[in-house]
Amino acid sequence: MKHIFLLFFVFASLAGFSEAGILLVEGKYQNKNVFVQNGFNNSGVGFCAYEVKVNGQVTSDEVNSSAFEVDLAPYKFSIGDKVSIEIRHKDGCIPKVLNPEVLKPKPTFDILDLTVSNEGILNWTSKNEMGSLPYVVEQYKWNKWVFVGEVNGQGTPATHSYSFKIIPHSGENKFRLKQTGFGSAPRYSNPVTFNSLMEKPGFQIAKDSKSITFSSETSYEVYDFYGNVVKKGYANNLDISNLNKGKYYLCFDTVVTEIEKRR
């Protein structure tokens, strides 16, 4: 009897019945199925993957082949629903997911309305989101589009409304929205433009070269001559005491100017 048990143990080990782990693939449903390359078990007997679960439910997919498809249609997912696929595999091998990107959202939004209120709130309504991605809010100033914040998208095709508090500068202001997804080019909204009646602030460098004073609060950035940002913020006073002596570029409001720290 002892010899029979030992023989069964050896056979089971050669057949690869021992569980090595779980290959986990997660993302959001994009109306596409997942394909898996399934090699042989380390012993050469049987295939590597032996069970697949989708959101905790064992699938009916045929996994005993060199490649198989995880069919997500039976689960009646809606676009943007969370998907978690567990691929249980045997010892000494790991199956390979051939198209994991199909569970990664891409920017597909359509903007229905984009406005700025008198209170300085950027409001927009959108639809056709195919997964939760942040809406990046950009403002055009200093001759480029500048990141000013972000709002997480809902990630479903239904119509959603969002808002973001902006800080305008003097004169014409321009804002836009951007989303970037997995392996895809960014998607942009058309810009929204409005005019601000606020006065353009001035600035003055202290005689001791330790600070810069603006005539009113403003967003600012300071660059060294290599293009590195060394100061950034929103205030009416800027401490530059820790900067080395030399020339810098000061950006504030709509102004880009060269300054020199003399001490």
Q: Is the pLDDT of residue 174 over 60?
A: yes
Record the tokens describing residue 60, joined without a space: 């009916």
Are 71 and 23 found together in one domain? yes
Convert the pLDDT of each residue in 204-252 to its tens digit.
Answer: 999 999 999 999 999 999 999 899 999 999 999 999 999 999 999 999 9
Alpha-carbon gap, residue 132 to 115, rounded angstroms: 22
Helical ranges in the chain per DSSP H: 2-15
134 within a domain of the structure (yes/no): yes
Convert the pLDDT of each residue in 92-117 to its tens digit.
Answer: 889 999 999 899 888 999 999 999 99
How many structural domains are present in the chain?
3
pLDDT value of residue 52: 95
Residue with tokens 């601000």, as numbered in its chain? 196
pLDDT value of residue 3: 41
5 within a domain of the structure (yes/no): no
Convert the pLDDT of each residue in 118-128 to its tens digit.
Answer: 899 999 999 99
Convert the pLDDT of each residue in 185-206 to its tens digit.
Answer: 899 999 999 999 999 999 999 9
Q: Is the pLDDT of residue 80 over 90?
A: no
pTM of the model: 0.74
* Full domain range(s) for residue 221: 203-261
Our measurement of the distance from residue 94's CA atom to the centroid of its chain's CA atoms, rounded to an integer in Å, reads 28
Alpha-carbon gap, residue 204 to 240, rounded angstroms: 12
Convert the pLDDT of each residue in 159-171 to its tens digit.
Answer: 999 999 999 999 9
End residue of a domain, out of 49, 79, 103: 103
